[in-house]
Amino acid sequence: MPEEAVLTATAPSAGADGAESTSSIAESPTAIEETQATPEGQETAEQQPAETSTEQPTTEQATEDGRVIPKWIRNMQKSDPQGYAQAKSDFFALRSFRSVFPSVKDAQQAKEQLEFVGGPEGLSEIQSEHGEFKTVAQQFFDGDPAFVDDLANEDPVAFGAHVPHTLDKFMEVDRTGYNREMAKRISGEHESAQLRPRLEAIYQAVKDGNSQEALDGLNAIAGWHDKLEEIGKQEDDPRFTKLREELTNQRKEGAERTKTEVLTDYRTTSAKQIESRASSLLDSYLAGKKLSAEDRSQLMQNVLYAANNEVLRDATFQKQLDLQRERAVSTRNTSAAVRFAVARFEQAMKAAVERQARLMGVSAKPAVAPKPGETNGSRTPVGKPVDGFAYITSPPSDKEINRFETNRDMVLKQRAVLKDGRKVTWAKSQ
């Protein structure tokens, strides 16, 4: 299953568009006319004089202000009360809609953008994450110790690995501040080793002429210094280095495992929901028309194949889907990505159902047999299909038969798949 497309449909045996087809499967839906024609001789809301009022209307009054209802709707109040109520409701609903979305295109864009972030649930997740990042960022800018504490608690080994570079960068960007902090650390070490009292004792020994005591004191200080120097020159403890490598590898393996699990869950869930939607769309289109299990399965496969090809050609969708999958991996939640993918596939499948059914010779309405005495061309199906094969009055020519989809056994049974995708039979027993 290619990661770009959720579904991997087996190449259809008849009717489905090829992966390299340049024709567009999904036609753009006819745009809804956004302005309604005003009947001749009737005034629009804008043409009607409104009564002046010194009171400022409330929001509810502004929404249901009867003064803005067009005259042609008001005229229905007595002649058609029920129609008037419906027209009035529709008028204010449209008015309210346009106050938010000036056009249908604006509403469609808003819907697509909401779907892109995973719907209301995904938007809530983003807001929650934004709040967390904002808090962390504020801790950083305020110099809050909690910022460093969180880093150290998250991964002590990784945190320790950053400290040397942090000190070097601190010296680079603020030498005075670096010197001050280092002086505090050095002074603390001297105090811990009681360097000052030792020097005072040595000074007093020299002053008193006690050279041996002075030499012993100096040797002790030299030994302390040599230990510090030795520690500074030490390489990382091999055990520590090995532990850090193991932890790094564990994190990488865990991240890859999580990514695989999340993407597998995404593909499995998406494919299941897409196939369920495709089945529902087929049932709705065929409206109870009987098909053999084999033919329905083939039609279903063709629809999924055609929709998959359309989605693969949608570069904008693919980029957005990549971002959705990345976010799913980082949050370990596939719900938003699944909703986004299923919505796009459903759009493609709606256009593919009718086309693929037609290419397979399956109509949403039962075929009507010709009346007695009427002629029907040999290539036109006559009567109801049997097992998905529509009857024709004479065998098709060799040039009409799709030899890739028609095997020898089918021909012996007087059946064939034509190059235009129709499945036909000329067996008189039909």
229 and 154 inside one domain: yes
Dihedral sign from CA coordinates of 260, 261, 264, 265? negative
352 and 298 inside one domain: yes
222 and 256 inside one domain: no
* Residue of 279, 277, 290 lying closest to 365 (CA atoms): 290
pLDDT in the model for residue 64: 62
Give 350-391 as a DSSP string: HHHHHHHHHHTT--SS---PPPTT----TTS-EEEEETTEEE
Q: Report residue 215 as tokens.
A: 């030499």
At 287 the three-state DSSP class reads: coil
- Please list the residues that pair with 258 across neighbouring strands: none
pLDDT in the model for residue 8: 46
Angle at which helix 293-313 crosses helix 315-331, to 10 degrees, equals: 90
Assess contact for 35 and 319: CB atoms under 8 A.
no
Determine how many CB atoms are found less than 10 A away from the CB of residue 151.
Answer: 14
* Residue of 297, 300, 248 lying closest to 278 (CA atoms): 300
- Please list the residues that pair with 416 across neighbouring strands: 424
Q: How far apart are CA 64 and CA 60, in angstroms?
A: 6
Query: How far from the centroid of its chain's Cα atoms is residue 176's Cα?
Result: 49
Structural domain of residue 406, as residue ranges?
367-430
Q: How far apart are CA 424 and CA 401, in angstroms?
A: 10
Domain assignment present for 26: no
- For the chain, which ranges sit under pLDDT 50? 1-4, 8-11, 18-62, 365-378, 430
pLDDT tens-place string over residues 108-163: 778 777 766 666 776 677 777 677 778 877 877 888 888 888 888 877 877 877 88
Q: Report residue 174 as tokens.
A: 């603020």
Domain assignment present for 417: yes
Total count of domains within the chain: 4
256 and 320 inside one domain: yes
